[in-house]
Amino acid sequence: RWFTHFYVVSVLWNGFLLICLFRAEFLGESLPSWIQDMHHTLGRDSHSKDMGKEHFSALLVLLLLWLHSCRRLAECLWTSVFSSGVIHIVQYCFGLCYYIAVGSTVLCQVPTNVRNGKKLSVHICWYHIIGVTMYVWASLHQHRCLAILANLRKCRSGKVISLSHSVPFGDWFESVSCPHYFAELLIYVSMAIALGIDNVTWWCVVMYVLFNQALAAVLCHDFYQKNFSSYPKHRKAFIPLV
């Protein structure tokens, strides 16, 4: 239930960064001085070569990240039905820091001086189209899977009637135990593609998401197998056929 706090922080923080970058790119304004100091601390060269595609990619991915946070916040508030499970205080603090760091990581993919007063000329490339298409596809499936999980605890009228665990069926649940985790990975892969595919920094983020979601999926898969004797044996934990 407290995962909701992560998305509140992400919507506010990454929304602020998005506005700052948008104003810098399209209005020729400078980023706030403290953001430039953060760039310098992280080793970003403020005199990097000006590349329009790089700038537009960062702006696009920051927008996708913010939209993802908005959707997940809405799902936490109005779709998901949470049990009485608890979260460790260390994991909670790490989660808050993560959603602040991940938006800052996107922002650091462009120089601190951004465009030296010049407005952005939009360059839409093939990898932007592929990335956004994959992002929308994965997001739709993640929402469907989260709705399936929530409906297991609701009656037809939408009223919550139970907080117990049940076996989900439908959509990607026919292939894996945790398709919403798999969709989360695909969403971050789509952002890596939208950043130009060759952005090593963001692929490090993708690797973190891969191991994080895989661990959670394996634990959940084991729970299903131990508690439901008739659980479908063909289902994998995280990635279809793997």
Cα angle, residue 10 at apex, residues 223 and 90 outer, rounded to 5°: 50
| Burial degree of 155 (CB within 10 A; 0-12, 13-18, 19+) | exposed
Chain CA centroid to CA 33, Å? 27
How do residues 54-74 score in pLDDT, each as one tens digit? 888 999 999 999 999 999 999
Predicted local distance difference test score (pLDDT) of residue 112: 65
How do residues 142-191 score in pLDDT, each as one tens digit? 999 999 999 999 998 889 999 999 999 999 999 999 999 999 999 999 99
- Residue of 124, 114, 127, 119 whose CA lies nearest to 50: 114
**DSSP output for 44-75:** --TT----HHHHHHHHHHHHHHHHHHHHHHHH
The DSSP H or E segment spanning 82 is none
pLDDT higher than threshold 70 for residue 48? no
| Burial degree of 130 (CB within 10 A; 0-12, 13-18, 19+) | middle
Domain boundaries, the chain: 1-123, 124-241
71 forms beta bridges with none
> Where is pLDDT greater, at 109 or 169?
169
Q: Strand, coil or helix: what is 115?
A: coil
The overall average pLDDT reported for the chain is 91
Measured distance CA(60)–CA(135) in Å, rounded? 12
Specify the pTM. Answer: 0.93
pLDDT higher than threshold 90 for residue 6? yes
Instruction: Give 114's pLDDT tier (boundaries 50, 70, 90).
Output: low
pLDDT higher than threshold 90 for residue 51? no
**Contact criterion met (CB below 8 Å) for 41 and 96:** no
Q: How far apart are the first and last CA of the chain?
A: 30
Instruction: Give 32's pLDDT tier (boundaries 50, 70, 90).
Output: confident
How do residues 80-107 score in pLDDT, each as one tens digit? 999 888 999 999 999 999 999 999 999 8
pLDDT higher than threshold 90 for residue 13? yes
Instruction: Give 45's pLDDT tier (boundaries 50, 70, 90).
Output: low
**Contact criterion met (CB below 8 Å) for 199 and 192:** yes
Predicted local distance difference test score (pLDDT) of residue 113: 63
> What's the half-sphere exposure (Cβ side, CA atoms, 13 Å) at 219?
7
Q: Which amino acid is at 221?
A: H
Instruction: Give 37's pLDDT tier (boundaries 50, 70, 90).
Output: confident
Measured distance CA(30)–CA(52) in Å, rounded? 16
> What's the half-sphere exposure (Cβ side, CA atoms, 13 Å) at 241?
0
